[in-house]
Amino acid sequence: MFGKRKKENQQKLAARKVVEAERLRRAGDLEASDSACREALEIDPDHRASALAELGAVLSDQGRHEESLAAYEESLSEQADQPLIYCALAAMCLARGGADEALLLADKACELAPGLASAKITRANVLDQLGRSEGAFDELSLAYRVAPRDVDNFTALTDFVARRGLTAAAIRQGAWQDCEAAVLGAFHAGCMNGLQIAAAAGAILCVKYDFSAGEVNQEQLSNDELFIRLLQECVNSNPVIEKFCAGLRRHILMNNHHSEELPTSVARLAAALALQSHNNGYVLWTDGEEEKVLAGEEQRLGEVIQAAKTNVTGATRAALQLYAMYRPLAHHADADTILDLPLGGEAGRLVLLTIREVRELTAASARVLGFVDGAPAPPGAQADGAIFPWTHFETPELGSLMAYLRRQFPGYSPPEWSAGACDILIPACGSGEQAAGLALGFPACRVFAIDLQRSALGYGARKALKLGLGNIEFAVGEVMAARDRKQRFHFIDARRLSPELISELAELLVPGGLMRLDVAGKGHAEKLASAFEFGARQAAGSLQVARRDICHAMSEACQYLCRQGDFYDLSNCLRLLAVAERGGSSAEDLLSDISRAGLRLIGQFASPDLRAGYRTSCPGDPLLENLTMYEGFMRENLAETGGAFRLLLQKPE
């Protein structure tokens, strides 16, 4: 009896060790997870399947793929009916380029567990890589219908639609309705970034409505949650919807100026368009007639405000919403008075989301000090400027820098320090969305975010406070101010900086430290420059007019620019403009700069799709280290690659 009880206790202790190992792996502590798995194997050698399965996952995350494969196979020899292992093996085969073998393994997982969503998602990924998009979509749709509230299911379906759009069969079968529900689920859960959601929502809405014709029922649109959420919460990057919204904004203004009250549907659309303009930085398409009508509405709004009436009429709300579609309310001369008006409804919400936000930002900005010993801001710092809001922020997966790098670079062994606490520098951080993401994702790390614009830093600091982040510091400073601070960093995310600063940035790294550097290729920069030059010919310095002309143009360069998601909000549009003005770099120039800075190229950040596509052309370069080969691939696939090198560099020990 006592022997049986002892054996049961051993099984329970081993099971707890396996659970602990999984928790540690998800947290990014791979060494501790590995140790816990091996302890479980020693405690209960007669029941090894689950411990071996978890060990296989840990070894895979460490990039030890051969050992991982051996652990998985040994686990299957102990217990054959483990669909999750077949899913993991399929993913490993797919990463190595063995799509046909991966499909057999995914089929086996689906056979063992027909209702397992992760098995269907794995099979869909394999089919997608094989070019069988309709089959992949069918698998994802089926998985979603089985468990529509499962986060993995609706994010997988949303991601597929964002990348591939809707297949012809899906449109014929009306399957876009499942896709719409999945995207709304992603909106509600806050588990995906705004660019993915915007791309998926745009694809679905273009199936629901004929935006190109310009004749869409306003009542129907105002009640369409997906359309309203797209405008209010994301930076829309669909050129067809962009053109439609420009026309809709004009239509609402022209048809309702001097109105005593906006109909409910029109008021809701006007509020959504105003928030879209706010998110995009007010990069609007306008003409002289619109400006004239808008001036009349602004005058009417000013007269009502100055009359200091105790009650707010529908005419006041109408004038305010029409004005807000084109101009930031916070910059209005009577912004303080507007804030105190009892507007209510969509108009009141607009005021709270814009004017009050600027007031809070001013207070937050005042608390941002200089980067060097809390000193005053450097001479080049800007007290004020355009704020580029975060749109639908995605909460990252928690872990360590080591775990993140292992996922990004299969087979690479990051430095030991990356498993624990380390110092991260983010120069030119803007409003801090990227910095906050790193601080959230790597809770053991200390993040230092610097920029020259105090108001943008105030926005980031305020957002970080609301997220409860205690491991991030926002400060006004130039990139090289860190030298005066005499601080060195383990990781520098310099994706927003010019490659000309690579040598100076290298000085800020500890020995063995890592740096991310994103550099536009020559082909990408040339196309951007050609498109912006076309837009500037008759724009008289107006980015609004230039964008309108570019979107209407049919040239290859303009169409290429319109396909860039960054083109649709002011912050990133200005960044694209800077790339066009600065020009791109060649692989040869980059290699020379890297060598001169005394750094070593580890590889490039890339999505699984991009790695798979590159592997087809260049199978012997898994980490995309050969910049010359990648440059040729990038030139032939500008749209897919984004036309940029995304480098991970390391300083020698």
The whole-number pLDDT of residue 341 equals 83
The residue among 536 and 380 whose pLDDT is bigger is 536
The residue among 254 and 302 whose pLDDT is bigger is 254
The whole-number pLDDT of residue 309 equals 60
Query: Is residue 373 over pLDDT 60?
Result: no
Domain with CATH 1.25.40.10 in the chain: 2-183
The whole-number pLDDT of residue 423 equals 96
CA 254 to CA 293: how far, in whole Å? 7
CA 103 to CA 130: how far, in whole Å? 9
Q: Which amino acid is at 258?
A: H
The whole-number pLDDT of residue 575 equals 85
Closest CA to 469 of 493, 498, 433: 433
The whole-number pLDDT of residue 166 equals 85
The predicted model gives 37-47 an average pLDDT of: 86
The whole-number pLDDT of residue 2 equals 45
Give the confidence band of 252 by pLDDT, cuts at 50, 70, 90.
Answer: very high
The residue among 317 and 305 whose pLDDT is bigger is 317
- In three-state secondary structure terms, 256 is helix
Tokens for 244?
Answer: 């439609």
Distances (CA, A) of 370 to 108, 116, 358, 376, 474: 59, 53, 21, 5, 9
The whole-number pLDDT of residue 388 equals 62
- 70-88 pLDDT, tens digit each: 999 999 999 999 999 999 9
Query: Is residue 24 over pLDDT 90?
Result: no
The whole-number pLDDT of residue 1 equals 45
The whole-number pLDDT of residue 371 equals 64
Give the confidence band of 200 by pLDDT, cuts at 50, 70, 90.
Answer: very high
The whole-number pLDDT of residue 71 equals 92
Give the confidence band of 7 by pLDDT, cuts at 50, 70, 90.
Answer: low
CA 166 to CA 238: how far, in whole Å? 14
Distances (CA, A) of 136 to 132, 144, 161, 366: 6, 12, 11, 52
- Check if the beta carbon of residue 218 is closer than 8 Å to that of residue 179: no
- In three-state secondary structure terms, 372 is coil
Q: What is the mean pLDDT of the chain?
A: 86
**For the chain, what percent of residues have pLDDT higher than 90?**
40
- 253-278 pLDDT, tens digit each: 999 998 999 999 999 999 999 999 98
The residue among 167 and 548 whose pLDDT is bigger is 548
Query: Is residue 222 over pLDDT 50?
Result: yes
The whole-number pLDDT of residue 571 equals 76
Tokens for 411?
Answer: 């087979």
Give the confidence band of 593 by pLDDT, cuts at 50, 70, 90.
Answer: very high
- Output the CA torsion 56→60→61→62 (10° steps): 100
The predicted model gives 169-184 an average pLDDT of: 84
Q: Which of 98-102, 231-235, 327-331, 368-372 has the lowest mean pLDDT?
A: 368-372
Residue 476 main-chain phi, psi, to 5 deg: -80, 130
Q: Which of 397-411, 425-439, 489-503, 601-615 has the lowest mean pLDDT?
A: 397-411
Q: Which of 313-327, 402-416, 512-526, 591-605 has the lowest mean pLDDT?
A: 402-416
Q: Which amino acid is at 479?
A: V
- State which of 5-9, 348-352, 388-392, 491-495 shows the largest mean pLDDT: 491-495
CA 627 to CA 387: how far, in whole Å? 35
DSSP annotation of 416 reads: G
CA 368 to CA 457: how far, in whole Å? 7
Give the confidence band of 14 by pLDDT, cuts at 50, 70, 90.
Answer: confident
3-state DSSP of 173-192: CCCHHHHHHHHHHHHHHCCC
User: Domain 2-183 sits in which CATH superfamily?
Assistant: Tetratricopeptide repeat domain (1.25.40.10)
- Check if the beta carbon of residue 193 is closer than 8 Å to that of residue 394: yes
Query: Is residue 383 over pLDDT 60?
Result: no
